[in-house]
Amino acid sequence: MSHLQGQTAIVTGGSRGIGKAIVERLATDGANVVIFDINEEALSEAEQSLQDKGLTVRAIQADVTNRDQVTKAVQDVMETFGSIEILVNNAGVIRDQMFYKMSEHDWDTVMNVHLKGAFIMTQIAQAHMIKQSYGRIINLSSTSALGNRGQANYATAKAGLQGFTKTMAIELGKYGVTTNAIAPGFIETDMTRSTADRLGISFEQLIEASVAKIPVARSGKPEDIANTVAFFADSRSGFVNGQVIYVAGGPKA
């Protein structure tokens, strides 16, 4: 439990779903975890529920696409904890639509949150990591990066995060900062529930259809992703850099 003791982690979009599971896992492993999220209500609920479990978790409302807000939030973290060892770029949105009907706004929204958000967060956090010659940056991609009907924007953003991951690994590795990515397959979250709504089927039907294609014969849970984040975040994983792990229950999406 104590191998992350004294370390500080920032998890963007950490108030629900996969993000919240990551926050809980890192905090359980001993880290001081700070959630950055734009949703004030969800943020407050997540902070309280995790603190009620005796975990060291703090919440800061911040829009990851706004450099001024991120700069202020990171400064707050540094003043409180004195360092940032782990950054998890998890914040994301979906605006699913068939490409011929996709609006420019839906395209820009997804690109901004996933790619611009990761760019701003990483650029600001890595400056502190380089000074301390240590850091773990973990980006959340998706099996959709391989292509997915109705998700031209999301698939492109998630594929972009993989290129971003590999480039950061090359540029930051010599400073003791590793960068890796996780590409989840079908995970039971509010986001996949909204996919069922878009398809006009029940969530249970979507789960059943998805499990039929997964070799391990079950759907993924947020904790499955949190466990992989914990591996990348570990100081003992320092020779693992620039990698993308598909956490999907099998070799394909």
Proportion of the chain in helix, strand, coil states, percent, rounded to 5: 55, 15, 30
Strand bridging mode 32-37 / 86-89: unpaired
Q: Tell which phi-psi region holds residue 137, choosing left (phi > 0), alpha (psi between -120 and 50) or beta.
A: beta
The whole-angstrom separation of Cα 77 and Cα 83 is: 8
Can you tell me the distance from the alpha carbon of 11 to that of 88, in angstroms, rounded to the nearest whole number?
5
Residue from 100, 154, 175, 246 carrying the catalytic annotation: 154
DSSP 234: S
Q: What distance in Å separates the CA atoms of residue 4 and residue 83, rounded to the nearest whole number?
A: 13
100 catalytically annotated: no
Active site residues: 154
